[in-house]
Amino acid sequence: MTALHTGGCRCGQVRFEASADPHHISYCHCADCRKATGAPVSAFVGFREDEVSFEGKTPKTYDNGPVSRGFCANCGSPLFYVDRRLEGRVYFMLGAMDHPGYYKPTLHAYVREQLPFLHMPDNLPRHLKTSVPRPNDGTEE
Ligand SMILES: [Zn+2]
Ligand SMILES: [Zn+2]
């Protein structure tokens, strides 16, 4: 199925849409996502960059190494990240999508950084580190 996937920040100044279905939906338990969002676990919906378009205000970005995270300059909502090592892909915060219930994650990433009191009883694959191999990253899993 190909649908139009839409989302945006809390105040509505930043809007985005994707014209094709996501290639990736996951939870991430890493400490960097935790700091960036303030939430104990994050979830992302990944699209190809060339199928994504933005409307309204340009999001602000904050870089940490190869990862650049976008957020609304007005309301501060975390919106997405891009990773220089994953060219052409953009990962939106699942909660930034207009219909978050549509995007059921298919795996957990970075469970070695998962908070000890957080229990998510599902049967999804659990990756100790990243679920998407980066070039020059021989440490996957
Ligand atoms: Zn906003
Ligand atoms: Zn993460």
Structural domain harbouring 83 = 5-113
Residue numbers of the chain with a pLDDT score lower than 50: 1-2, 138-141
| Residues lying with their CB under 5 A of ligand 2, a single-atom ion | 28, 30, 33
C-alpha 13 to ligand 2 mean position (Å): 25
What Rg do the C-alpha atoms of the chain give, in angstroms? Answer: 15
- pTM for the full model? 0.90
What is the C-alpha to C-alpha distance for residues 41 and 93, in angstroms, rounded to an integer? 11
Residue 59 lies in a domain: yes
Query: Is 122 among the domain residues?
Result: no
pLDDT value of position 130: 83
Say if 14 falls within a structural domain.
yes
Kindly state whether residue 101 falls inside one of the protein's structural domains. Answer: yes
Using DSSP, how many helices (H) and how many strands (E) does the chain show?
Answer: 1, 10
Q: What is the pLDDT of residue 141?
A: 42
CATH for 72:
2.170.150.70
Q: In the prediction, which pLDDT does 1 show?
A: 43
Contact between residue 69 and residue 36 where contact means Cβ atoms under 8 Å apart: yes
Residue 87 maps to a domain: yes
**pLDDT score of 37:** 96
Q: What is the pLDDT of residue 98?
A: 97
Any bridge partners for residue 1, and if so which?
none
Residue 136 falls inside a structural domain? no
Report CA(26)–ligand 2 centroid distance (Å). Answer: 10
Give a yes or no: residue 90 inside a domain.
Answer: yes
Q: What distance in Å separates the CA atoms of residue 61 and residue 138, rounded to the nearest whole number? A: 28
> In the prediction, which pLDDT does 12 show?
98
125 falls within a domain: no
Structurally, how many domains does the chain consist of?
A: 1
